[in-house]
Amino acid sequence: MGVTVKTTSPAKSSVAVSPTKFVAENGKLNADAFVNLDHGDPTMFVPYWQKMSEGSTITFPGSQSLSYFSETKSVCWFLEPKLEEEIRRLHRIVGNAAVGEEDCIVVGSGSSQLIQAALYALSSPDPDQPISVVCAAPYYSSYPEIANLLRSRSYKWGGDARNFDKEEAYIELVTTPNNPDGAIREPVVNRPQGTVIYDFAYYWPHYTAISSAPSHDLMLFTFSKCTGHAGSRIGWAIVRNKEVAKKMTKFIEVSTIGVSKDSQLRAAKILGVVSDSCFSGDDFFTYSRNILKERWQSLRQVVKGSDLFHVQKYPILYCHFAKSMTETLPAFAWMKTIKGEVDCVDLLKEHKILARIGTRFGVESNFARISMVSKDEEFNTFLRKLSIIQGRDDPIDDENHTHI
């Protein structure tokens, strides 16, 4: 049973509300305004947390969180014990990671800082040459920037993992489900000289089937993709090797002297609410899947039969969390123009839609990544503009999510 959060109708989200109805209820849409779907800003989740406001609110007295240190025995000396408790609890409930008692939890200011910390920890401090950091294309657009930002002597961006043919040490980033295309990934290089970092930012049951509880040496998760709280800047790593965890902790200690305790305690509170909701009618993951399912159905209906655009298709897999066959519903649409010479982002931009170009992900410019987790207003405006691009100005039936 899903959450009955009200948006524009009492029983369901306004995901597929028609532009005509939206104008009537929310005022005139500005046809000249840009719809920015370049970033994965997770404002889709706001109505749920508005409904859950009472149980998810936390206050801090002025005397709290004065010390740099947390009362923890963890290798990560600034990790709040309550956050570690809720992280372990949620993974047990969802089944998307096997977290042993001896495994270390390292908290960071989002997963971006944790990637830097992991690269620092896994590379040699005094190498003959920087170790290559690779990832199979299409790869997350920030990976090259993260690897090259510090101009480190220890590591550098090495490009597409499929093209890596050097007989030397390397670090491979495996994002699964993948950002931008939502595909389930495994390592590509598979050589004894390599180390793998698994980025599981989107391995949650509202996006994909939970097929197993992975138990890798280094796994990254992020608060923002799980619950939508991107502004809190919290991520965590599950690390098997204590020495690697110590080095990651040292990186964060030197760069930011730990991680905000207020953000950690807020994250602990929110994660606790998500865990509790799994056993109630307010299940966060069911609510989120329902919205994403409606949005994906609406998008596919808009591009159905199109001679301009193609949207990635995904398998239906068994989810151990949901105990049923479930669709893959990525947080991004990986769209391409059918005519390869047409730049997808330029075409969308002509109609005031901002997306991220495929070349940022290591592929051709006829690909574009489009956020599926924006506000209802933005998403519905996007659908309307997309219909206009294809020469259709027909509204979307709010009840059946089909064109009329």
Do residue 222 and residue 306 come from a single domain?
A: no
Same-domain check for residues 189 and 234: yes
Select from 260, 277, 294 the last residue of a domain: 277
Mean pLDDT of the 242-270 span: 98
The whole model's pTM is what? 0.89
Domain assignment present for residue 382? The answer is yes
In which band, very low, low, confident or very high, does the pLDDT at 222 lie, cut at 50, 70 and 90?
Answer: very high
Pair 176, 229 in one domain? yes
Residue 394 located in a structural domain: no
Query: What CATH number should be reported for the domain holding residue 35?
Result: 3.90.1150.10
Clarify whether residues 213 and 301 are in a common domain. Answer: no
Residues whose CB falls within 8 Å of the CB of residue 324, separated by 6 or more in sequence, listed in order: 318
Residue 191 belongs to what domain range?
A: 81-277
Q: How many domains does the chain have?
A: 2
Does residue 346 sit in the same domain as residue 326? yes
Lowest mean pLDDT among 23-32, 197-206, 296-305: 23-32
Structural domain ending residue among the three candidates 242, 277, 312: 277
How sure is the predictor about 3, in pLDDT bands with cuts at 50, 70 and 90?
very low
The per-residue pLDDT for range 317-326, each reduced to its tens digit, is 999 999 999 9
pLDDT class for 96, splitting at 50, 70, 90?
very high
Residues 272 and 303 in one domain: no
